[in-house]
Chains A and B, each alone.
Chain A
Amino acid sequence: MPVNYYIFLSIALFCIGIVGVLTRRNAIIIFMCIELMFNAVNLLLVAFSKMHHKAAIDAGSVATNVGSDGQIFVFFIMVVAAAEVSVGLAIIVMMYRNVHSVDVNFLNRLKH
């Protein structure tokens, strides 16, 4: 599979995430779109990792580990995302308790 396909797929997902962040007003959905962006990155990293692996094999090294760092990075992204979600949702819930809304357009108390 040519790597370009994966790049375009990831970029498309990434951009859909960005559009979501820009257009939606519900904090939770914005957050979800951010997760979508993370996932697009993950997919891209895995694709690259496999690409580099293949390149290394084609270059002649047999039992190579080239490319595994990309997947490890993905693992770390997932780890971080999990932590971030726990905190983020706690914040959103805290906000909701006080305001009874998660609409980011209500976030204007600081604009004066």
Chain B
Amino acid sequence: MIAVLLILIPLLAGLISFFLKSERAARSWALFSSLAALAVAIIAVTANGNESNLAFRADWMGALNSSFSIRMDGLGKLLCLLNAVAFPIIFLGTWHTQYTKAANFFGLMLLTQAGMMGVFLAMDALLFYFFWELALIPAYFLCSQWGGPKRIQVTFKFFIYTFIGSLLMLVGLLYIYYHTPDRSFDIKSFYAIQHHITGNEQTWLFWLLFVAFAIKMPIFPFHTWQPDTYEQAPTSTTMVLSGVMVKMGVFGLLRWLIPVLPAASWAWGDTVSWMAVIGMLYASLIAIRQDDLKRLVAYSSIAHIGLMCVTVFSVNEIGMQGVIIQMFNHGVNIIGLWIVVELIERQFGTRKISELGGIAQKAPAMAILFVVIALANIALPLTNAFVGEFLMFTGIFNSAVTKYNVWFTVLAGLCIILAAVYTLNMIRKVFYGNTVERTANAIDIGLMEKLALGIIVVLIFWIGIYSQPFFAISDTVSADITNSILNKQEVLPVIKK
């Protein structure tokens, strides 16, 4: 029942929000309901052992053998938690941002949250697809209505990309559905599919599904929507997109791709990894040359996600562990970055690095918090990202399924260095040095923003120093996923030439 609540709270709250009149009421309602969701999420995560509360199943479309089936496993728990944590932070961090038609804005935000919750919880392929799209539509409206000047075209590109991806995924899911022995959309039937289809079909299906997830993450050739969208979207939506929504892609790989089509994943892992690595390098190099804060953060996000993707396809238990924890970390960190970017933009009216400087003199609190978060983003030890990335590198390096593991490690490591370059460069230019005309009268951040960033910083250090509870949430999952490939050796030679 708790799992249902997680979806239901934001869904209903979102719908109600549409009918609220004043902006303040809507804002408060959104914060309140997101906090409520957070509370439920925390209860769910901490309720270890009592799994029955975390699953729910109801008949939905009997004719199709699809049911409303949700369950919270380790992976889901962590991501739900991320989802639940992210929204209060976002609302707090952008407490002072003004929106026209705020009721609609917050309503759509909450609907997005509901959709993403559903994605993380669904145990039925059709239901998963439903929520996948449900998360997308409100995001589309958010970006198109409240975004920057080029929002319409850019958001549309984003939408079309993701929609094509999800439709291809639908075809893949349907195909799998047709070949499940019991004609069911249930995830268990899906996990059993590999015995019923040929290797060739697996290849097809792998790419159908992978494209959807790759677009969402995004992976190198499918990433072109991302920087534009992040730039044009209203920052709070960007936070949702980059903090939580991209995790849907990685999540999809972990839950719906690798265990379902292990042979193809194994066979095509190298290809995908290469794509991801190229994407990482490419994004990092571009990020160095970026002048726009938002685009910079956006490209850095591509690099980080690429790393996760490589790790996922290296199929290594330690790596998986790292990916899972890093999903959470990255979500938290990047939201923090966005909050600061948003604050800067709101205060100074620009996002150009070249037009800023010396903010630290006037706004020390912001500077400190931001620097912490930025360092976390480049995975300095003691920060949360270090834990995740360390595990991931270990995983890649030790990967048994690829012979390029050294290459991947080296190239990915290079990206981390590049990340340090551009992040520190940005910090130096924006926060230190002399003030410029725009930043001469800068004022420090308010309570709400401090609160939001403070929570993030706390989380950064908590996980960075004592990450055991978070590993505990998801420890069995990584092994399951890894084993789903590694134990299926008998199907592998089918594809591998």
Judged by CB atoms under 8 Å, the answer to whether A and B touch is no
> Which residues of chain B have a CB within 8 Å of any CB of chain A?
none
